A and B are shown apart, each in its own frame.
Chain A
Amino acid sequence: MSPVEEKVKEIVIKIVRKPELDFTPTTTFKDMNADSLDIVQILVALEDAFDIEIIDEEMKEIANMGEFVAYIERKVAARKAA
């Protein structure tokens, strides 16, 4: 697991309050019963952790945790390159 993936997993599990969550690339927000507040809190925590900006419209394209982690990794890389 990459450090970014570790962090995403840690934040997601903490915010949805499911320590036993099976966090795999195919897991969806729906699988973990995340409501819109959970998702906002996850995005805010990740923006803070990585000093990135997540665009809500782009999030609409994300289907599962695999895509979510890849998206965050792209944002982190773009910030480092800037």
Chain B
Amino acid sequence: MSLTGKVALVTGGSRGIGRAISLKLAAGGADVIINYFRRRETAESTAREVEKLGVSAHIIKANVGEPEKIGLMFDEIKAKCGRLDIFINNAASGVARPALELDDKSWDWTMDINARAFLLCVQRAACLMTNGGKIVAISSLGSRLTLPAYTSVGVSKAALEALVRYLAVELAPRGICVNGLAAGGVESESLKLYTRGQEAAAAGAWQTTPAGRMVQGKDVANLVAFLCSDDSEMIRGQIIVIDGGVSLAPIGTAKPS
């Protein structure tokens, strides 16, 4: 897969899955703009890793939950690169509470960062994709399966996935492919945080996949790279599940290979 000469933006591209995506796109030859929220040092360290792969890296601090920050981020991208070829909507946040305990503030925070930001970013990104482009939204199984205390994020991901379908059709005439992926539990710091308060069996269920191992950030990054390549040109508006098969087998029934 060659992404040589392409310019990619990865929101939340500084750590976790976003970091794996930034590195994968860089390995394919793309220059990478790494958006982050509050941890500058982590973003700088990922940018150095990206540069080691022989492409350029640029970090931009912006809370994608705030429309004006999105505006400033794209102004900076326009001034620095003049165009964009790949946009990966990866940044996410959420408030881990049962539905009956969610207040308006938690709801707005989660929806603004996980769903509204995708729309607002795409509106700006599409204008910079003058030669067509690829857009990939990172969702999770929680958009359609219920997970404890995951309501706000699950609902925001459902909105994100619906947007993928609408945008895929609306942006197709501009030569822009829009797709999404829904990951199962990915071995990561954030999953550890999320499962911390859960029963051992529930927390451990994520680790038992029919594929025999947990999904890693690099598995997600590989799929993103495929969706950014011309090999996937006829896939439009789809949400590809990447979970090692875990959603096919009721919890506890999958036998590891």
Contacts and interface: CB of A to CB of B under 8 A. Distances in A.
Interface of B: 38, 40, 63, 95, 105-106, 109
Q: Across the A-B interface, give the 8 residue pairs with the lowest CB-CB distance, nearest first.
A: A37-B95, A37-B106, A37-B109, A53-B40, A44-B63, A37-B105, A47-B38, A44-B38
Nearest to A53: B40
Given A54-B38, A56-B38, 13 more contacts: A36-B95, A37-B95, A37-B105, A37-B106, A37-B109, A38-B105, A41-B109, A43-B38, A44-B38, A44-B63, A47-B38, A53-B38, A53-B40
Nearest to B110: A37
Interface string A29-58: 000000011100101100100000110100
Contacts of A43: 38
Interface residues on A, range: 10 to 19
Contacts, number: 15
Which of B38, B63, B106 gathers the greatest number of chain A CB atoms within 10 Å?
B38
A47 B63 CA distance: 11
Nearest to B65: A44
9 contacts: A36-B95, A37-B95, A37-B105, A37-B106, A43-B38, A44-B63, A53-B38, A53-B40, A56-B38
B61 to A, nearest CB: 9
B252 to A, nearest CB: 31
Contacts of B109: 37, 41
A72 B40 CA distance: 18
B95 to A, nearest CB: 5
B238 to A, nearest CB: 33
